Amino acid sequence: MPSAHEAVAVLGGLATSIGAGALLAIFHLPLLRFQRSFPPELRAVGCALLLGTPLSLGVFAAVLCMLAADGLGLDLVAHHCHASAPGCVPHKDMSATLALMIAAGVLVATLFMSLAWRTVSQAGHALRALRLLNAASTPVRTSGLGLVDSDAAVACATGLLEPRLFLSRGLWRRLNLTELKIVLRHERAHLARHDHHMRLVAAVVSLGNWPKVARRLFGELVLAQEQACDRVAARYYGALRTAETVLKVERMGRDRVDAATTSMAFADAPVVARVEALLEPHFRSWVVSAALMIGATVMAAAGVALGIEPLHHAVETLVVQTHG
């Protein structure tokens, strides 16, 4: 069972996480529009970071709240202290707040159970989808590719520890050799970039986001990954030919394989945004984009750090008034 000060830290972390989730719900659309100027490879990382913002800032705040019990030295709340000193008005003894400590223990246990359940659930869906596709496909010798017995236009990479590529026979028949190479180069780029792992982690740590916001952020993550893999294919076969292949597969129908979060289908993201990124790319440089992303991350962490002393004081004062 946590101590009283650890319990206050848990409540402080919870308050920070809720606040971060609310702020992200208000400002996520301007943030996404701003991030659209980043190269897709870097924007995917930024989207994953945004998805994990409420949880990560909550944990960060909880750790700092525990340290604040011994004084962080910021002196933002001069009278908040736990020792006798001139001008110091320490809080009452909190050792008897049993209900508070039980509540904090339940919150921590719920957090770990939720993260574990989300991880197992997503991994289980991916493994089941892989088994189904393996059963419905015929392996192409030496290529690591599975041909799915379907007329639908399906091209995807799915799995977790050892993901595989799958292509439907319908798509195989309707694409020429160069177009097939573009599709396969795109899907292999997903595996080389470990996009399936990033999607799994992002889905797990998105805890604390409002559902609608999480869906939008995850959709932007998928778009950034698709654009990044389109750019890989374009380096080999040209931007125009790659864009034409994207459009051709889109016109064949948006057939998808329900293979959970870690599945990466060729027609996953909005086709217009993908084609525009190939034919008319307007992205900031990597250096500027990385500097902006790092700066925003540091500012968010600094904002939480500066608010820890007042937050710790407010939570502890409320607890003392309630339980002291």
3-state secondary structure 257-307: CCCCCCCEECCCCCHHHHHHHHHCCCCCCHHHHHHHHHHHHHHHHHHHHHH
DSSP tag of 147: E
pLDDT of 316 reads: 75
pLDDT of 94 reads: 52
Residue 190 near residue 37, CB atoms below 8 Å: no
CA–CA dist 118, 201 (Å, integer): 10
pLDDT of 155 reads: 87
| Residue ranges per structural domain of the chain | 4-82+91-323
Residue 139: φ, ψ to 5°: -70, 140
β-pair partners for 139: 146
H or E element that contains 212: helix 211-237
pLDDT of 182 reads: 96
Please state whether beta strands 155-158 and 145-148 pair in parallel, antiparallel, or not at all (unpaired): unpaired
Residue 165: φ, ψ to 5°: -95, 140
The pTM for the full model equals 0.87
Helix, strand, coil percentages, rounded to 5, for the chain = 70, 5, 25
pLDDT of 75 reads: 47
Per-residue pLDDT tens digits of the chain, which is 324 residues long? 566 777 888 888 999 999 999 999 999 999 999 999 999 999 999 999 999 999 999 999 998 887 765 555 554 444 555 555 555 555 555 554 667 778 888 888 999 999 999 999 888 888 888 888 888 888 887 667 899 988 888 888 887 878 889 998 989 999 999 999 999 999 999 999 999 899 999 999 999 999 999 999 999 999 999 999 999 999 999 999 999 999 999 888 654 554 456 677 777 778 889 999 999 998 999 999 999 999 999 999 999 888 887 887 777 777 755 544
β-pair partners for 164: 158
